[in-house]
Structure 1
Amino acid sequence: MPLPKIVIVASSFGIESVIKQGHATLVPLAVAAGADGIEIRRELFHDAVCHSVDALQALAKTLNSQQLLAVYSAPTPLFLDDGALNLDALSDLLREAEALNASSLKLQLGHFAGDVDVSALRATLAASNVALLVENGQLQTGGRIADFTNFFAICSMAKLPVGMTFDIGNWIWAGEDPLRAAQQLTPYVHYIHCKGVEGEGMRRFAAAPNEDTLAYWRKCLAVLPKTVPRGIEYPLPDQGIGPAAKQHVAQLRSV
């Protein structure tokens, strides 16, 4: 069985650094760490020029020169506060993801109210060759297991090409059990985010895994698909510069 590809989420290299210096500066760091790709975070672009077609195509060329895959991530919800699909934003983001030559576009679920305009979503997705993934968030809204099981049941029945980014740490933020979520949602998972969680309540933060965290990841990953990409989403030591980043990539690949 092939080993999973490891993607490093851009914020793991230091949010302020990425905003100031740009995503292209992460390419040699990701290569040195032995990663297979970078998750490009739209919220870390310092101005609108960065997500123009020309800028994204230039970034795609830089990534491709080192054979790194791109995941395109935006904090945008698929469903608006009134439960309607956020189709205009989805169309725009899919076009940006295409310019980046991204393998997938990752969004938040948002305010899923139990219904999906299947025809409208199908038409929007058919206009792009980029896969749409929805991620469980850190809040109850967009972070409940029941919402995801209901949403994907509709997608499955309608044969909508939508997958899931399964964030192990975010389930804890939202007060849900990651292992139970894995048992119910595995058929839909196309990408896995891995981060440790420290602190309580509003003072929780992402952290590198300790032995207890790694043991729990193993339980979840034993249930989840074995070969889908895994993303590092916690602060890397020394902002990803040096041998420690390579150790974290190797560790996640082998968990």
Structure 2
Amino acid sequence: MDYIINTLVYADRHAKGEAQSEFLEDIKKLGADGVEARLEYFNDIKDEAPKFVKRAKELDLKINLSVPDELFVDGKVNPKLETYFKYGKMLKLNKIKFNTGDFAHFTGDLAHVLDALPEGIEFNVENDQTKLSGRSQHILTFLQSAKEAGLNVGYVYDIGNWLVTGEDPDIVAKKLAPYTRYIHLKNMTGIGNNTSATLDEGKINWRTPAAYFKTGTDVALEYPMSQFERRASELAVVKNVYK
């Protein structure tokens, strides 16, 4: 099992112009096993990737990538997919994740959608905060179809986004548990899409979904925290619940 820190945790430092590679030493000190980089946090991924990969390797941190884009656009495979996969190879990824998008109108050959995915990279889809990619039934339909087509596709359970889209996080956890390979933890204030300062301060009981997932499912923290002590204490609490 891996405990991951999504670089959204360092939103304040990113806003000041720091590169994601500058967060890696802190992530290691926290006792995490890896980093989830955000594609939108790279100013020039081709220029930044070598340094990022080199530093992560030095610190023995696994690398995941969050791509803020959809797998299907207007019922067709996203034309940018091959480019994203090239980035994945460049970053020597462990996992890459997308939003599902408009799979409902897809009429192509699903079996070949991931042909360009580099070997060794785990492919997952996540629920976002939209009607298109943030409905559990839409996601389940895609995951079932992908499985039938022989695709190795998993699911990233983002607990906070379910509050925004109006579905019960516990019910969804049980529903999508068979496909869940990765968990994103954050909590929400209940006002718009604002995250709470800590997991225990929000509207969601973030502990209860743990009972539905397989032991050893990877977990990431994905909410801004400006102080090391806060980051360390939040990760420690998570390690006691998600094992």
Give 2:237's aligned amino acid: Q
Which structure has more helix as a fraction of its residues?
1
Aligned equivalents of 1:19, 1:39: Cα separation in 2: 19
- Tell me whether 1:124 sits opposite 2:121 in the alignment: no
The percentage of counterpart residues that share the same residue type is 27
What is the one-letter code of the residue matched to 2:151?
Answer: L
| Structure with more relative contact order (C-alpha pairs < 8 Å, separation 6 or more) | 1
1:234 aligned to 2:223?
A: yes
Partners of 1:233 and 1:62 in 2: how far apart?
21
Gaps of 5+ in 1: none
Structure 1 stretch displaced more, 12-21 or 69-78: 12-21
SS at match of 1:102: coil
The RMSD of aligned alpha carbons is 1.9
Q: What is the match of residue 73 of structure 1?
A: 66
Contact 2:187 2:202 in 1 (8 A): no
For residues 92-241 of structure 1, the aligned pairs below 5 Å read: 92-113=83-104, 115=106, 117-125=109-117, 127-200=118-191, 203-207=192-196, 208-210=198-200, 216-236=205-225, 239=226, 241=227
Q: Distance in 1 between matches of 2:71 and 2:229?
A: 38
CA 1:106–1:42 in structure 2 vs 1: closer, same or farther (change >3 Å)? same
Letter in 2 for 1:7: I
Maintained 8 Å contact 2:38/2:65: yes
Tell me if structure 2 keeps the 8 A contact 1:10–1:18.
no
Structure 1 runs (4+) greater than 2 angstroms displaced: 15-19, 114-117, 122-125, 211-214, 241-244
TM-score normalised by L of structure 1: 0.87
Structure 2 length-normalised TM = 0.91
Partner of 1:251: 237
Partners of 2:35 and 2:147 lie apart in 1 by: 29
Unaligned segments of structure 2, at least 5 residues = none
* Count, aligned residues: 239
Deviations 1:122-147 (A, max 9, x none): 4233x543121111001111001110
- How far has the Cα of 1:106 moved from its partner? 1.0
